[in-house]
Structure 1
Amino acid sequence: MREIITDVAVIGGGSAGLNAYRAAKKHTDRVLLIEGGPWGTTCARVGCMPSKLLIAAAEAAHHYQTSAAFGIDPVSPPTIDGKRVMERVRRERDRFVGFVIESVEEIPSEDRIRGYARFIDNTTLMVDDHTRIVASRVVIASGSTPAIPPGLEGLGDRLLVNDDLFEWEDLPESVAVLGPGVIGLELGQALHRLGVRVHMFGRDGALTALTDPKVKAYAINQFASEFPLQVDSEVESIDRDGERVSVRYRKEQKTVTEHFDYLLVATGRVPNLQSLDLHNTGLALDARGLPQVDPYSLQCENQPIFIAGDSNSQRPLLHEAIDEGNIAGDNAGRWPDVRAGERRAPIAVVFSDPQIAMVGQSYAQLQARYGSCNCFAIGEVSFEGQGRSRVMLKNRGLLRVYGEQGSGILLGAEMIGPQAEHLAHLLAWSIQQRLTVSEILKMPFYHPVIEEGVRTALRDLNHQLHIDPAMLAHCLDCGPGA
């Protein structure tokens, strides 16, 4: 067994870990990166990128199937070749992973340790059974794993998580999706549009992370009109039946049984902390095995231990993992001079159709913060009559924007609608700059563009903030249908 003494040890070579390593390196040359699994991030291997490849294929099929509304009739129904779809998904996925691996290989080999780390004490790690590492401080960036509810073990290879789906060589005939969160909704709708029979089951009425009741209700109606979706389902049993999955559930006061090729579980992810032996650190752990983490410095209590990325469950998104890796690595490198890191305005996007997005503070957060004091107001716009949206036959959606009474500052937004990924960025940039609604309305808006819908919602919000009068019924400077 060998022993290595170092200043900083980073556990995990994903998005957070790689950035923590580079940030710590700015302060000291003695930094180790420890990884037990394959090099390559969750995003590149089983997350953002392969899912968007599947979604892109689904969008191509959907555009073909809906072109008749424009007066363009397909000469024949599309043939969806599942093998070719999945071959492109895997090929391009591997290409993205290759870019990450190339980045890892630029790290000096003496800084890379292969194996799974566990704590012996606060700053001593054992990597498998071959290396003992004595570090002055440690960054945990071990990522997360799909959560699987208990009782599904008997499904065997009929049980899938998103990690498994991208290894398919062909598309199945049917899939039951458990959990209409971001992953479940994106993959479920994509599979449906690629000809797979999909039924999605949820509970407690939740759909992704939406908290605004009007936006959520609109979104549920939209997706439930396209494929079977029960956000508050009563699933009585899920069992294996030969080479299929049997799902028995209640529908309209009747018990229904359906059979599927697979059950895709998309009920969230859990931090990869169980194998780290955190109990040896002396940190106080909650019921989930998580230590208390300062959201600004990412330090655990007052110890030289920092947690970044999916491992801390705060903001499980790629750009947030990068930010957290930089903050944790910087603080580990400059220890004991721990500083609060700068965070960007929250932004989250679901690549469904219509897309869903949330920026800034959510409706639920504002309700909890302001209570019943009416200290924030809401403006909204429907995209059903919005000019550019109707031109493209993308006129489905609702945007609700939130502003602070008195200051007029834009606080947040929740939306479902066309090109929500782009609208969300405009709103998030405005929130980060702490712009007032009036200041945003002074910005240029071209015609005809979907962004005019944002202007309509902001004008409505300014009226609700008692800053501007109500909008004219037919706004002449907007043009038709803005």
Structure 2
Amino acid sequence: MFDLSCDVAVIGAGTAGLGAARRALREGAKVLLIDDKFAGTMCANVGCMPSKLLIAASKAADHARRGALFGVRVSDVSIDGKAVMQRVRDERDRFAASTRKSFEDFPEGTLIKARARFTAPGELALDDGRTIKAKAIVVATGGTPKIPEAFSGLGDLCFTHETIFELPDLPKSMAVIGAGPIGLELAQAFARLGVKVSLFDDSETLGGVDDPHLQAMIQDTLSEDMMLCLGVTSRAHRNNDQIVVTYEGKGHSASESVDILLVATGRPPQFDGLDLEKAGIACDDKGTPLYDQQTMQCGTAPIFLAGDAAADRPILHEASAEGSIAGRNAATFPKVTPTQRMIPFSMVFSQPVLARIGEEPSNDHIIARASYGDQGRAKVDGEAIGEVQIVADPSDGRLLGAILFCPGAEHMAHLFVAAISAGLTASQMLSHPFYHPTLEEGLKPALREICSRVPSSGDYDRTSAPGG
């Protein structure tokens, strides 16, 4: 006999788990949502929101320093590190409290505060001694930062994104290991707040951008704020109250002493203690369950994966979508309905923002560029930097993808998501108004270039608005 039974058991109450539980409930299923903390989402606690709060502070500092460009002279710009970090925590805690409050919306008896592990397919044991029988199970246990052996043993001077926001004050210097989105964002934010930052990565490129011209632009821009050490292997040891980072690559080696180290080398799925080997599903060589991206189902089993646990698209809107797909299919199992996934869309909140949408550029595409180095509105705002690349189908000019590294990228990227989703061509996009003077207006040269290279593109706007 089992202590509890349900139609759908969801393990993990983060963004994906919440999405799965809510969708399963809407489908009429009896749901148990299992979590050992119910602390709120990763995004609110240690991810999106605290990092953006730190970035907001760094932007304020940068704007103050650049005031003279506009004839606004700000003397003696100083950074109150304690106040910066306190605001990050205060506002973060408000966001986290809001997500925790959402748990109150679940029906009584739905929330189970415990850790779960598989004992057999469709069967779970809780660390409080109870057992659960479920018709289907959604695994949404998220990811967790891992500290590689080369950076172990550093004690309280070593941080991850889950601990860095607890700093009571800004350090004088820091090393950041890993130039993925988390590493890039936090490295630049701390640097613009007056911290001496060195960023290390074994890759020679940033942001997953292969185009040499755009990659050089990204590196040149970010190197104005911090030291970039790319294409290197690194390790660290503690020397009293300092950390010494030793790195080598391209035929040379060097070392640097810093106050703290931030390890941002990724967030592998969190499966510790889950006993997945008893779930009756196949896993890859890293221990991640094999699953169908359109159904989130693991093989033919009544087990579904969602969110960072899926180790595929570690982005909040994707985690929410995956949760919904998994929750619906778990509730209707054995009926499983494939769902068309959203257009790939990611952003790194560097300054300027790096956004990538849709298909990556290739020799099979038209690739058109628009520079923001001399764009009218960007110059007005004192932010004339960067470039946009638009990817289009050479047969008809249909928009397929875009890479933006320019002011306003986080907003203009959404225009491309909508345009690509709607199947618009460059000519059709140009038929819509571009208000003058705006950053969006700067897209027109690239769109016109696409039209000029597609004979069948039809009539399009060939005029150039002033400052566009």
TM-score scaled by length of structure 1: 0.93
For 1:338 and 1:101, how far apart are their aligned partners in 2?
31
For 2:196 and 2:56, how far apart are their aligned partners in 1?
18
Q: By how many angstroms is 1:46 displaced?
A: 0.4
Check 1:403–1:332 CA distance in 2 against 1; reply closer, same or farther (3 A cut).
Answer: same
1:30-89 per-position Cα deviation (integer Å, ceiling 9, x unaligned): 100000134200100000011010000110011001111222221x22121111111111
Check 1:203–1:274 CA distance in 2 against 1; reply closer, same or farther (3 A cut).
Answer: same
Matched position secondary structure for 1:271: coil
Q: By how many angstroms is 1:249 displaced?
A: 2.6
Matched position secondary structure for 2:73: coil
For 1:197 and 1:352, how far apart are their aligned partners in 2?
17
Matched position secondary structure for 1:7: strand
1:90-136 per-position Cα deviation (integer Å, ceiling 9, x unaligned): 01000001111110122234111111111111100111142211000
Check 1:248–1:151 CA distance in 2 against 1; reply closer, same or farther (3 A cut).
Answer: closer
Check 1:297–1:347 CA distance in 2 against 1; reply closer, same or farther (3 A cut).
Answer: same
Q: Aligned-residue CA RMSD in angstroms?
A: 2.0
Matched position secondary structure for 1:166: helix
Match of 2:157 in 1: 158
Matched position secondary structure for 1:399: strand
Q: By how many angstroms is 1:467 displaced?
A: 4.6
Q: Does 1:145 align with 2:141?
A: no
Match of 1:224 in 2: 223
1:364-391 per-position Cα deviation (integer Å, ceiling 9, x unaligned): xxx4xxxxxx531100011001111111
For 1:77 and 1:252, how far apart are their aligned partners in 2?
40
Asked whether the equivalents of residues 16 and 322 of structure 1 are also in contact (C-alpha less than 8 Å), the reply is: yes
Asked whether the equivalents of residues 231 and 249 of structure 2 are also in contact (C-alpha less than 8 Å), the reply is: no
Task: Tell me whether 295-304 or 402-411 shows the greater mean CA deviation.
Answer: 402-411
Q: Which aligned pairs between 1:258-277 and structure 2 lie closer than 5 A?
A: 258-277=256-275
Matched position secondary structure for 2:325: helix
Q: By how many angstroms is 1:150 displaced?
A: 2.1
Match of 1:335 in 2: 333
1:400-456 per-position Cα deviation (integer Å, ceiling 9, x unaligned): 110112132111011211010011000011111111221111111111111011122
Gaps (5+ residues) in structure 1? 368-373
Match of 1:201 in 2: 200
Q: Which aligned pairs between 1:439-450 and structure 2 lie closer than 5 A?
A: 439-450=428-439
Q: By how many angstroms is 1:227 displaced?
A: 1.6
What residue identity is the alignment partner of 2:419?
A: S
Q: By how many angstroms is 1:214 displaced?
A: 2.9
Match of 1:287 in 2: 285
Q: By how many angstroms is 1:340 displaced?
A: 1.1
Match of 2:180 in 1: 181
Task: Tell me whether 240-249 or 89-98 shows the greater mean CA deviation.
Answer: 240-249
1:315-370 per-position Cα deviation (integer Å, ceiling 9, x unaligned): 1111111111111101111111110124222211111111100011123xxx4xxx
Matched position secondary structure for 1:144: coil
Asked whether the equivalents of residues 397 and 457 of structure 2 are also in contact (C-alpha less than 8 Å), the reply is: no
Check 1:21–1:251 CA distance in 2 against 1; reply closer, same or farther (3 A cut).
Answer: closer
For 2:251 and 2:291, how far apart are their aligned partners in 1?
46
For 2:22 and 2:388, how far apart are their aligned partners in 1?
39
Check 1:96–1:131 CA distance in 2 against 1; reply closer, same or farther (3 A cut).
Answer: same
Match of 2:302 in 1: 304
Q: Which aligned pairs between 1:38-117 and structure 2 lie closer than 5 A?
A: 38-74=38-74, 76-117=75-116
Q: Which aligned pairs between 1:227-242 and structure 2 lie closer than 5 A?
A: 227-235=226-234, 237-242=235-240
Match of 2:387 in 1: 398
What residue identity is the alignment partner of 2:286?
A: R
1:140-184 per-position Cα deviation (integer Å, ceiling 9, x unaligned): 111111132223221111111011011112111111001111111
Asked whether the equivalents of residues 239 and 245 of structure 1 are also in contact (C-alpha less than 8 Å), the reply is: yes
Runs (4+) of structure 1 exceeding 6 A deviation are none
Q: By how many angstroms is 1:466 displaced?
A: 4.2
For 2:140 and 2:246, how far apart are their aligned partners in 1?
39
Matched position secondary structure for 1:481: coil
For 2:338 and 2:216, how far apart are their aligned partners in 1?
38
Match of 1:9 in 2: 9
Gaps (5+ residues) in structure 2? none
What residue identity is the alignment partner of 2:106?
A: I
For 1:109 and 1:39, how far apart are their aligned partners in 2?
18
Match of 1:380 in 2: 369
Asked whether the equivalents of residues 199 and 229 of structure 1 are also in contact (C-alpha less than 8 Å), the reply is: yes
For 1:51 and 1:31, how far apart are their aligned partners in 2?
33
What residue identity is the alignment partner of 1:207?
A: L
Q: Does 1:412 align with 2:398?
A: no
Asked whether the equivalents of residues 8 and 31 of structure 2 are also in contact (C-alpha less than 8 Å), the reply is: yes
For 1:22 and 1:275, how far apart are their aligned partners in 2?
25
Check 1:443–1:9 CA distance in 2 against 1; reply closer, same or farther (3 A cut).
Answer: same
For 2:367 and 2:261, how far apart are their aligned partners in 1?
39
For 1:234 and 1:298, how far apart are their aligned partners in 2?
36
For 1:375 and 1:319, how far apart are their aligned partners in 2?
29
Check 1:3–1:211 CA distance in 2 against 1; reply closer, same or farther (3 A cut).
Answer: farther
Asked whether the equivalents of residues 380 and 461 of structure 1 are also in contact (C-alpha less than 8 Å), the reply is: no
TM-score scaled by length of structure 2: 0.96
Asked whether the equivalents of residues 377 and 465 of structure 1 are also in contact (C-alpha less than 8 Å), the reply is: no
For 1:450 and 1:456, how far apart are their aligned partners in 2?
12
Match of 1:371 in 2: none
Q: Does 1:167 align with 2:153?
A: no
